[in-house]
Structure 1
Amino acid sequence: MSLEIERKFLLPEFPVALIEEAELKVISEHRIEQTYLAMDENQELRVRRIVDLASGEVSYTHTFKLGNGLSREEIEYAISEGIYEQIVKAFGFIPLTKNRVTAEWQGGIIEIDTYDQIELSVLEVEFDSEEAANSFMAPEWFGKDISTERQYSNKKVWRELQGK
């Protein structure tokens, strides 16, 4: 399992001006449909359909995450379209849908997720260590740090879509 160390921020508005001023360089844009298969307070199992908006290329992943907060264990691997479709159809759940912009900012990579079913934009920054994550000073435009606030987690939002 690999360790995912990230901080999340409640992005108040999409940083169009920073992109126009070339302070933020967009690397890629993806359309993501995400469905959870199992979850509890400490772990999750999900599948995703990911469309690269520039090329139209579609990929599918299966992910297991263990833990909460700043760092979590994660296993993610590619699956076929057929397996993805079988899993999604078997459960009949409503997928969580969002657009993800991956961008370079000050020599690092950030991801901005803008959700469809709720009014929410989240900015994520991944780190190599918890020390780096804890010492990171976010600029004001990132918004409020929500790294440890579970009400903003993808799995909580998805669960609300299912009426659970």
Structure 2
Amino acid sequence: MEIERKWMVNGWPEGEGFPALPLKEEFAMRQGYISVHPTVRIREEALRGGRTDYILCFKSGGGLAREEIERPIDKALFEDLETKIIAKPLIPKIRRSYLLPDGLVLEVNHVDEGQPTEFWYAEVEYPTVEQARAWDPASCQLAAYLSDDVTGQPGQSMGEYWVKTRL
């Protein structure tokens, strides 16, 4: 089960006006969709200065909580799915993960950098639905940054972005 909230944001949460958030990790990613309803996605995740993983992901449901199954796959299968099944440009994104004072992790994504459709979004995953509903960005001095909560809003998923920009 994946329990997360999502916000549209502008840029990384760094610099003047932001609390000092320790950077946990940064990934360069590419992802594409075999299916959007239900979600069947592949993603390449290259950790800055480290390994590259290839993931096959299945998701069902929507909103705050949904079922998610992720499994590692090898590079050859990833490439076959990318070129023979998807056959469209994958979505590039940079994800930075920041440690929050309360132990949660803020993931900020810059999608399709340099394209007319580029955008930024942030997510926080939670252990329970109750914690997700109760969590207040002000508790981490991020109320202004995380002011545009789009959790569960139609058209705000990466799958919907794929449909708008790749199909």
1:153 to 148, 154, 157: 157
| Distance (Å, rounded) in 2 between the aligned partners of 1:12 and 1:38 | 29
Decide whether the 8 Å contact of 2:14 with 2:20 is kept in 1.
Answer: no
SS of the equivalent of 1:77 reads strand
Aligned residue pairs, count: 157
Confirm whether residue 25 of structure 1 aligns to residue 25 of structure 2: no
Q: Is the 8 A contact 2:99 2:106 kept in 1?
A: yes
Tell me the residue number matched to 1:109: 105
Q: Is the 8 A contact 1:49 1:61 kept in 2?
A: yes
Rounded Cα–Cα distance in structure 2 between residues aligned with 1:87 and 1:141: 37
1:70-109 equivalences under 5 Å are: 70-91=64-85, 92-106=87-101, 107-109=103-105
Q: What's the CA shift string for 1:68-116, capped at 9, x where partnerless?
A: 0000000001000000011111121221110000110112211001111
Q: Deviation per CA, 1:11-47, whole angstroms, max 9, x where unpaired? A: 13321227x976211011001100100122xx20010
Q: Which runs of 5+ in 2 are unaligned?
A: 138-142
- Which position in structure 2 is the counterpart of 1:66? 60
**Amino acid in the other structure paired with 1:74:** E
The answer for unaligned runs of 5 or more in structure 1 is none
Equivalent residue, structure 2, for 1:39: 36
Secondary structure of 1:151's partner? Answer: coil
Q: Percent identity?
A: 25
SS of the aligned residue for 2:161 comes to helix
Calculate the TM-score normalised by the size of structure 2: 0.87
Aligned to 2:108, what secondary structure does the other structure show?
A: strand
Q: CA deviation at 1:143?
A: 2.7
Say which structure is richer in strand: 1
TM-score by length of 1: 0.89
